[in-house]
Structure 1
Amino acid sequence: MIKGLLISAPASGTGKTTVTLGLLAALRAQGVTVQPFKSGPDYIDPAFHSAAAGRASFNLDSWAMPAATLHDIRAQADGADLIIAEGSMGLFDGVAIAGEAGSGASADIASLMGWPVVLVIDVSGQAQSAAAVALGFSKLRPDMPFAGVILNRVASPRHEAMVRAGMEAAGIRVFGSLPRNPDITLPERHLGLVQAEENPELEAILARAAAFIAANVDIPALLDVANAASTTPSAGPASPPPGMRIALARDTAFSFVYPHLIAAWRQAGAAILPFSPLADQGPDNSADCCWLPGGYPELHAGKLAAAAVFRRDITAFAQTRPVHGECGGYMAMGAALVDKDGVSHEMAGLLGLVTSYEKRKMHLGYRQAHLSHPIPGYAAGAALRGHEFHYSTILSQPDAPLATVRDASGAQVSETGSLRRLGGGGMATGTYFHLIGQAT
């Protein structure tokens, strides 16, 4: 069993992504083969993990995935020397009503996998009091393995000494102390970090992060405390491919698709045929379905509206075969998209959907959907789990609702997705949520 660690924090914004990326890059530079994972539904961080580690990173989600599926995804670490998983939000943050294997909290993953937690604590504005925070996190869940802390945003050697004194008195192990370092800050936008592939400085930032972590964290001590549960993986529910030849939109406007789904499709024997709508490419005509992931169509609406070949080819494709879109892909399948300046741009027109980014409103959370109609890979009546995160709103949705959709608490949400049957047996479907998998 490959040993691992989970890097978490008391809250978002405390530096766990910087620590994770620096640790991945530093270990890789030392010749350690590290498998990264991301706890929770974040679809941006895994690309940064992959750039730092040189291996594809996968999401592990205790609300949306059963335990068997989590263990199956963990098997992606085969051949690695060590696992480093990054938590989401605060260590214990999840939804109020448990899902498949927990609440979605990072602590669920640590407990299930046996990976000791290393807590990154922002100690700015406090000294010995930080120990009370660490002690509370170490004791709240007795089933969760806890290794110790990394101190972040330390002001001075004197400040560090006071914080360390408090940690020692509380019996909390300190693995490192990080001063402020603006040289490894990653740029952000409305859905989180600017995507890894869009950052020309990423390689240099990762190199600086690796050097920073290597100089300020006791990496050998971290390796010594890595661990894993002795549970045996068992086969979880398969994620069926939407077709055996899948035309997959893939560029900076369409990039949010969970890596475990792509891996499952390939393991089932499906061929992935990428194309770029931004480069005015249409889906491969040999494909038997087309999948448009989420991303940032609102930032490229004018270019998509001008992509005549893309719009022509996907319209022709949809007359005889299924096309499915998620979030940004769903928006691009609609009749129009209104950008932040209030300008309306014509989209592919496979659906009557009109969406707007002019007046931003955040929609965020887990989704559970019961399909009223089929989508590629899933029959009508299937129960799906996913996650929604966007700032656009629906101005018009004239097509048939695709599903009954509820949030994690069971409350019904208005974003039902939509369906339109086309021409010679084709079908266009879309949802605002990103599929994670089928509910058990």
Structure 2
Amino acid sequence: MTRSTTDEAAAPQLPSPKERRRLREAKSLSEEQVAAAVGVTRATVRSWETGRTSPRGRKRALYAKLIAPGPKAPTTTPSAVVAVAPAPPEPLPAPPPEPAPEARATVAVQAQAESAAEDKRASTAEIAAEDKRGSTAEIAAEDKQEGGAEGGAETVGERRLSPAEAFDELYARTAPALVRQAYLLTGRRALARESVERAFQLAWHRWPEVAVDRDPAGWVRAAAYEYAMSPWHRLRRAHRHPDAPPTEPGKRALFDALLDLPPAYRRTLLLYDGVGLDLPETAAETEASTPAAAGRLMTARAAVAERLPELAAAPSPAEQSALLHDRLGGLARAEHVPVPQPARAVRTGSEDKARLWTRAAIAGVALLIAVTGLTLHTAPTHYEPPIAPAERVGGVPPRGGPQQLTVQDLQLQKSLREQLAHGPERLVPQLR
């Protein structure tokens, strides 16, 4: 029997992935707290709770002890029953109720909301792509880190992707959909493509941070949305006005209704009804509270329903959300949105831009050093009092005595002293 098999037999048994998450939430522990206690990242804890990986060795024992149910919290408590109850069919929850006095009821309500969010995300193509990506680059990197910490007892059978390959896979799976989403957000095809390419260039520049993020696609989506909705684009002539609307009346009405919404309301509607995020995730990505995001969503739906009669005639919010999801998808697919550049070109552009900024920073520092040295070299080393400006002085009496000799007077005086006297002897002085 090998060492790894012996360690697995002696390691404590862990519950199912869903039960692991329920136990963690029952103890009011966040993923960050569990990751800090065990010594891993949030992505590792999430992969344990989704069943993609499982802890090993010392981390397995610490994780099992951390989420172990206490004597007063058996698995058959009413909170557990509520936590695993089926999700409500309404995608737009009612306003949040008053907080319950017991902490257990609060945990159960949170678990129910997150369970509904998981069920909704499982029905979208984006989350399926995220799970597939999580089993390649992100989880492979985490397994490599854990395998090195545990002494290399186990190895992953699949080939680990390099950073460039993981980035290319993320780009190939999410870039086309992000361009269509940015088009619905801005109404400008060129700006939509530019926003996605800039977001991926930033992601490649910060790839060590993005690779271990809980949702790399969400990280890039948020960066693309922020760039696309920047108000500075109004100053650019190419993006000052939106593109021509669709010719079909139904799509044209939806297009005009989206662009008439405020940017924050438009983004909330696109994330919830277009992308398929749940309300807490939509609020987090738009940097708003959950009640504020719910209010924006209802206001945006009401404004769009005024332009689309079939949307207003939907019998329930769930059917209204499904209809709006189909209409947004049809509008994005019907328009000829430009295809983004290849992933290699995006990575090369990001590296060139980083190299350019590095050289500019070095040149700026060198210029600053040169100016400082020149200033130190030419600066005075002692204090020189300023010279007062000349002023005319009056009322002073003229100077007495002999006046100053002129140039002619000085020449005559010099000649008289140097030349011998010629003339009558009576006039020549003699020495006696």
Could you state the TM-score of these two structures normalised by the residue count of structure 1? Answer: 0.25
- Greater strand share, 1 or 2? 1
Larger Rg: 2
Instruction: Give the helix-richer structure, 1 or 2.
Output: 2
